[in-house]
Chain A
């Protein structure tokens, strides 16, 4: 979406740690990005890459302690989410910023009906009068394609299937017409035919409502058809950022390349999967050098000595890598 790129969310130098019994976990290490109005941003990474903690930190949804947000700014509509009073932040959460979690069963209240939960959110975040709330709740369920929406309002979460629950979550996130929706692996727990249903709904809703979306996933396939831009995370840092077409057709970071090479494709019978050697990094120390260097086929001295910042490598394309993969020489 090329809407004069006005940022709705601007995050700079976010760092989050967890002080555990076994030591300090450096989960997020200096993450900066912007989300533009109406934009669909895909955030891709493996487990432990910091993709979820980054987004949870923005709304201070991480447990504090042991978690602590060490540094950073997150400007949303002129206010810093990280410096705001907790009371004010509450009105942002679930209001102007909606959240969709991976597992709807744990994020919905099991003893309240679906309708009750949606109306509660309308009560807290909007000024829709009480009488009109049931109608609005029903409209929302219809919006996300739930059949017999009126009857469903009286259902408890356990009476719905996984796909239906996730639709309810989306309806709840949409309840207060948010500016931004953060969706954390919303389709990971679902079967592939149900995932396709959800993706279809999200695509359609986005065109109708123009809400900006951050979609966190480990599945490179899911965001390929959805996102405008994609961020790739590794070891608590952003290693690459590009438009969706640039990222998939011309990845600049060896990790992104490795990731794309290691997933088989439905539409191609590849000969061999290129695997990334070794293990994901431990997060016990703040990375002093490139955290991908031990697994990287291009690593040279500088990579093991100095942590590369996110550098411009093309128009709207950034990568945190000392090696210029296109020209086969250091940057």
Chain B
């Protein structure tokens, strides 16, 4: 598997546009309990009604600042957290209605790569048993076959098969993330949620891991939900992008469409805030500076959640929640004034 075979994030969108994951009206509220009797006094609306589709073979980028609910969305889709409301169809099966063995039998098909490779690998297990665990858990192959598969997986992610006997602490951050990826692909999944997979890594190592993910996508035909706060990296890796703010999707479109011509005032501000490593471009740029801070998801503003910081907000915005509507085919936006 050479890196030259890679077509990168610029890969053409999948031809047939077959929907793999269909999320409708997804909500995840975490209760806030108080007092001796642990009464519920409110809720953190981490995800508050999001709908989107993920097509087979694509990378859907999910961007947002901290507290936007992007990671919770990823976790709920994989049923690592229970939904509060909404449906998640995975190839037609509603994951929110599946339990026990039915859900478990679908697990090998959908996996997750976590942000922190230090916290997500058990320090007392060898790399081989970390990667082999899903294989034995789902009873795949004999012991010998599993050993061979572990070796294959390690070379697939750019490590050496002999590393199987070592422990996580013997590896650097980037290598640990490779181990996490090897584990995620061990059961030949179709769909992987990558939750900030490069946020904890150094710049020069980030590119290595992203190239690996892109390469694996080509070789194994994977579908990604790529969650990140790094707008430059999302532009590089994603086919389509959804922008989240306070538990809602503000805008969703093909990556170039969204970056070249953002329609939502939040997207505009977000894109203009990202520094570009080029002094000439930087000196010519006009920034939209947003006032204030992100409100708390426990107490989101009424109407449009962005109205407290929006440069074009009007009275209507604090009264009426904007509908997440399809402006032109494939381009969705939640703003009263977008056109």
Please list the residues of chain A having a beta carbon within 8 angstroms of any beta carbon in chain B: 46-47, 161, 163-164, 191-197, 199-200, 218-222, 224-225, 244-245, 248-249, 258-267, 269-277, 279-280
Contacts and interface: CB of A to CB of B under 8 A. Distances in A.
A274 B273 CA distance: 25
Interface stretch (B31-39, B100-108, B137-145, B232-240): B232-240
Given A266-B231, A272-B8, A275-B208, A221 B202 contact: no
Given A192-B274, A196-B287, A197-B289, A244 B279 contact: yes
Interface of B: 3, 6, 8-10, 65-66, 172, 174-175, 202-208, 210-211, 229, 231-233, 235-237, 255-256, 259, 269-283, 285, 287, 289-290, 293-294
A275 B274 CA distance: 22
Contacts of A264: 232-233, 235-237
Contacts of B9: 269
Given A249-B279, A265-B232, 14 more contacts: A46-B203, A193-B289, A196-B289, A199-B275, A225-B285, A248-B278, A249-B280, A261-B207, A263-B203, A265-B235, A266-B276, A269-B259, A272-B8, A273-B207
Contacts of A265: 232, 235, 276-278
Contact of A269 (B10, B172, B206): B10
Given A46-B202, A262-B207, A224 B282 contact: yes
Given A191-B294, A200-B289, A264-B236, A259 B204 contact: yes
B65 A225 contact: no
A245 B211 contact: no
A225 B279 contact: yes
Given A197-B290, A272-B8, A267 B204 contact: no
| Most chain A beta-carbon neighbours within 10 Å: one of B174, B211, B273, B280 | B273
Contacts of B235: 264-266, 269
Contacts of B10: 269, 271
B90 to A, nearest CB: 30
A82 to B, nearest CB: 29
A310 B272 CA distance: 36
